[in-house]
Structure 1
Amino acid sequence: MSWRFVSLPPQDGYHMITSFVAVAEYVTKGGKDTFLVFSVKEPFVNVGVHQEVWLEVDLEYTKKMKIPVVRRDLGGGTVVITQGEHDYFLVLRQEEAPSDPKALYEKFLTPVVNVLKDYGLNASLRDQDIVVNGKKISGNGAMTHGKAVVIAGNILMNVDTELMSKCIKVPSEKFRDKLAKDMSEWITSLERELGYVPPREELDKKLKESFENSLGIKFEEARLTPEEIERWEQLSNEKKKEEWIFYKDNRHPELKTERCVKISSAVVVCHFDYKARKLVRLTTKFVNKRLHEVSISGDFFVMSPQGFVEKLEDRLSGVPPDKIPEVIDLTFNEMKPVIFGFTADDLKKAFQEIINKPEVQEVI
C-alpha cells in the first residue's frame, strides 16, 4: 500500500492546526493516506477544541509577549508549541483505523515508540502519550473528519518549561514556579535524554522506515495538491478569527467562576474540576431549582460525532437536578460518542459532586 510522505516548511500556528484538516478532506474524497511532518516558525499557545481559553491561558502574558492563542479542531489539553518540537500528522481512510481509541493509538504510535527505542531510549506508550522512563516526550491525539481519521503528534527535541509555565493560567506565582518545576520533572526531550538534538532529516528518515516496516506500507515523496493548499489557506484564515478562538468562552459568557458563588436565593454559579481518565471541567448555573446553563470543557478527545458536547450542553439546559443522569444516558445512547477521557458515568458523578456542594443545595 502506498502513502504520501509530505515534508512542509515551518508554519505559523494557524497553518499548523489546519494542515491536517485540508488533508483529511483530500483523503475523504479518495486521496492517498498521508504522513505530514514539519515544525513551527514561532511559539504559540494551542488550545484544545473543548477548552475555555479564560480557564487555561494567561492572556495578560500572551498578549504582552505577542504569543498567538490558537484553537485547534482536535481535543486534548492546552500546550505551548515551540520550535523545539518535531510535529507529525497521519491522515488515513476511516475504514483502515481501529474504532477503539486505545487500539488506534497502539497501531499508529508504536512506530514512533520504535524510533525512540532505536536511539537507545526506554520508550513506551502510555494512553495517547509516549514516555521515556515515565516522562512525556510525545503528546498525541486523534479525531475524525469526514471519512478520514487524523492522528496528530510530536517528538519533543528540546523544551522551554519556563515559557510553557508563563503561558498557562495559574492561581499564583508560587504555583507557577511549582508548575515549571513539575514540568521539568514529567516532560523530557531528545536533547535531555541524548545530550544532543538529532537533525530533523534524520528523524524523518527513521520515522519513514519505522512506519513502512510496522504497517507494511511504502511512502512516496509528495507535495500537497493545489486544491489542498487553497483549502488550507482558507481554513487558516478562518482560525484567526476571535469568534473561533473564543467560541467556547462566548458560548457561555456568564459562566465565569472558578468556585461556587450564590448570587441570590434562587441562583448559584458553580465550577468543578473532575478527574476522570482526562480532566472534565463543569461550570454550571442553577436557577429556580433547575440547571439553567452548563459548560462542559476539558482536555478530553471526542473523536465522533462532531458537536456532541454542545448538543449535550443544550439538552441539559432547563433540566431539574434529579433528571440530569437520565438526560446524559439518553444522549449517550442516541449519539453513541467515541470519547477518550471520560464516560457517561464519569459525567454523572461530576454533576453529583456539584449538586452536593452546600451553595448548590441551598438553592435546589
Structure 2
Amino acid sequence: MINVVNNSNNPYFNLALEEYFVKYKDLGEDILILWQNEPVIVVGKNQNTYEELNLEYVDKNNIKVVRRLSGGGAVYHDLGNLNFTIIKNKSKLHKNDFSFFSLPVVSCLNKLGVKATFSGRNDILIDGKKFSGNSQYFHKEKLLHHGTILFSSDLTILSKALKVKKEKFESKGIKSVKSRVTNISENIDKGLSLIKFKDMLIQCFFESRKENPKNYVLSEEDTKKINELVDNKYGTWEWNFGKSPKFNYNKEMRFDAGSICVKVNVIDGIMKEFKVEGDFFEENPIKEMEDLFIDKKFNIAEIKSIIEKNDVSKYVLKLTNDDFMKLFL
C-alpha cells in the first residue's frame, strides 16, 4: 500500500483527487489518502442537494457544497474532520464490506483506550454515538472506500448546515439518516492533536497489512490533471446541484396580499414548471410572472436576481418583492 500525501484543504480538489486515482492514475498498489476539508457539505451521488442542506445558512456562512462519487448520505466537513480513502485494486472480495476497511480506525482508537465499534450499515461508534460514516464507489476492477472521522468538528454548525424542513420537498433522492454524533477529542486525552492522531492512523493502516509506511507525493502533472477535474466537474454547479434527482419544491405563506403558494418542478437543477397559487388578486396574468422562472437554475442567487429585476406587485396585488423572496428562504 502507498500513502498519497495530500495537504490540500480544498474540497473540490480533494474529491477530484479521489476520482483521479481511481480512474486515471494507477500506482500499482493499493492507495491510502488522509485528507481534510475546509467547511463544506458533501452530498452523496444519488441525493437531492437542495433537500439535504439549509441553503440559506450555507450561503450566509460561505460553506461550500460538493457532490462525491459514492452513494450514502450528506455529511459536513471542516478542519476538525479527518477523512480517509482506500483505493483497492481487483477487489470484489470486500465490495460493500464496510467493516473490513473500518477495522484500522477501530484498532487505532483501541490503542488510545477508546472502545470503538462498527455498527449497522456503515458507521463507527463510541458509546452509541457516531463519529464515522463510510461509503464506497466501484470503477472497473477498483474499489474506492472512504470515510469521515469526526475529531474536533464544530457539531453546532454541522446540525445547522444539514437542517432543512422536509415538508418543502417531494423528492426521489436518497435522504440522509440523522444520528447522534460525537467527536473523538471528547473521548481521549486532550493532549492529542489531530495531526498526531493522523500519524497514528496512518501507522495503524500499514500495521493492519504488516507493511512499512511509504509515501507518494503528487507531481506537477498529477496536480494539473486533478485541477482539470475541478474545473470541469467538481467545482461546477452542474455537478454539485444540477445532478440532483428530479424533485418538486412546495412552500406556502400568508402575507397582506393573501395566501401565496409556490410549486416548482425541478429537473437537473433547472426549473421546468413554476406555479403560483393562492387566494390573492391578480394585477396582470400570473402566468407572465411564472414564465420569468422557467428554464432558470433553481438556486437562491438566480431566484433573487429574477425577483429583483421585476416588480411582483405588477402581478399579485399588494405582494412585495421581499415577501415573495421569503417563499424561497
Q: Give the TM-score band, short-chain normalised.
A: 0.5 to 0.7
Letter in 2 for 1:65: N
Secondary structure at the aligned position of 2:202 is classed as helix
Distance 1:155 1:161 in 2: 13
Q: Which of 9, 28, 32 lines up with 1:31 in the alignment? A: 28
Displacement of 1:211 = 2.1
Report if aligned partners of 2:104, 2:205 keep a CA contact under 8 Å in 1. Answer: yes
1:2-21 matches, cutoff 5 A: 3-21=1-19
Q: 1:240 to 1:26 in 2, by over 3 A?
A: closer
**The structure with more radius of gyration:** 2
Residue of structure 1 equivalent to 2:118 = 125
Is the alpha carbon distance of 1:241 and 1:197 closer, same or farther for their aligned partners in structure 2, counting shifts above 3 Å? farther
Verify the 8 A CA contact 1:55 1:169 in the aligned structure 2: no
Number of residues of Structure 1 aligned to a counterpart in Structure 2: 244
Indicate whether 1:241 and 2:225 are aligned.
Answer: no
Aligned partners of 1:203 and 1:169: how far apart in 2?
Answer: 30
Q: Alpha carbons of 1:201 and 1:68: their partners in 2 closer, same or farther (altered >3 Å)?
A: closer
Shift of 1:6: 2.1
From the superposition, tell whether residues 26 and 248 of structure 1 become closer, same or farther in structure 2 (CA, over 3 Å).
closer
Residue 136 of structure 1 pairs with residue 130 of structure 2: yes
SS of residue in 2 equivalent to 1:138? strand
TM-score (norm. length: structure 1): 0.60
Shift of residue 32, structure 1, vs aligned partner: 2.5
- Equivalent residue, structure 1, for 2:52: 56
Cα RMSD, aligned residues only:
2.9
Is 1:112 matched with 2:112?
no
Deviations 1:8-58 (A, max 9, x none): 21321111222211111245x463321111212x21111111111121111
Take 2:219 and 2:88, find their aligned partners in 1: how far apart are those partners? 16
Deviations 1:269-300 (A, max 9, x none): 99xxxxxxxxxxxxxxxxxxxxxxxxxxxxxx
Q: Are residues 136 and 241 of structure 1, via their aligned partners in 2, closer, same or farther at CA, if it must alter by over 3 Å?
A: same
Matches within 5 A, 1:1-364: 3-26=1-24, 29=26, 31-40=28-37, 42-93=38-89, 95-101=90-96, 104-126=97-119, 127-171=121-165, 186-196=180-190, 198-237=192-231, 238-249=233-244, 252=246, 255-257=248-250
Please give the secondary structure, in 2, of the residue aligned with 1:21: helix
Contact between 1:51 and 1:77, CA under 8 Å: does it hold in 2?
A: yes
What is the alpha-carbon distance in structure 2 between the residues aligned to residue 5 and residue 117 of structure 1?
A: 22
CA shift in 2, pair 1:239/1:52, >3 Å: same
Change (3 A) 1:86 1:71: same
The 3-state SS of whatever aligns with 2:63 is coil
Q: For each residue in 1:318-353, what CA deviation from the matched residue of structure 2 results, as whole angstroms up to 9, or x when unmatched? A: xxxxxxxxxxxxxxxxxxxxxxxxxxxxxxxxxxxx
Letter in 2 for 1:105: F
Describe the shift of the 1:26–1:240 C-alpha distance in structure 2 as closer, same or farther (beyond 3 A): closer
Unpaired stretches in structure 1, ≥5 consecutive residues = 173-181, 259-268, 271-364
Return the alpha-carbon distance in structure 1 between the equivalents of residues 68 and 191 of structure 2. 28
| Structure 2 alignment gaps of length 5 or more | 167-176, 252-263, 266-329
Match of 2:273 in 1: none
